[in-house]
Amino acid sequence: MLKVAKFKKFSIVLHNKDSFEACLKDEFEDSNYHEFDTEKFESIDEGRIYISETVENSVEWIDELNTYTSDSLKKDEYKNRSNKAVLMLKFSDKIFSFIYGYGRTMLKDSTIKKNFGLRTAINLISEESIKSVNTLNISSDFIDTQRQAFGSVK
């Protein structure tokens, strides 16, 4: 039987700050963290793993669903959990964050370099292979763009 290789998807961002704390939202700046094992990965200067405490919240929609059912749905049986973590690595004086779960909500948007992933992808793919690039910017306004790319993007 043919074994199919498994791929892991990562969300990675590059920051424009040079300290871990400066990249975190105020409520996470003083959070406990786990040291990254730099001996296992010699090229990494420093690293930290921040894991947010998971808080259970009652779901908002139970009351509405109770209006549609003949029996009763108990609020305390249905809870939301938002797990989130960020692995922050310092490499060549740059800070990168690997995002797990809802970890993006732990980071200050103003510290994230825009289009880092797009520029990386464009530089890794041969220019003959690129016909166009479609992007979607998710913010208060959705911006859907299509770009033609020629040559290397710096």
More confident residue, 148 or 44: 44
Give the pLDDT confidence of 75-124 residue by residue, as tens digits.
Answer: 888 888 888 999 999 999 999 999 999 999 999 999 999 988 878 877 88
Contact 47, 20 (CB under 8 A): no
The answer to whether residue 17 scores a pLDDT higher than 80 is yes
In this model, does residue 149 exceed pLDDT 90?
no
Amino acid identity, position 132: S
Residue boundaries of the structural domains of the chain: 11-125
Summarize pLDDT for 98-112 with one digit per residue, the tens.
999 999 999 999 999
Helices (H), 17-133: 20-23, 62-66, 116-124
Please say if the pLDDT value at position 70 is more than 80: yes
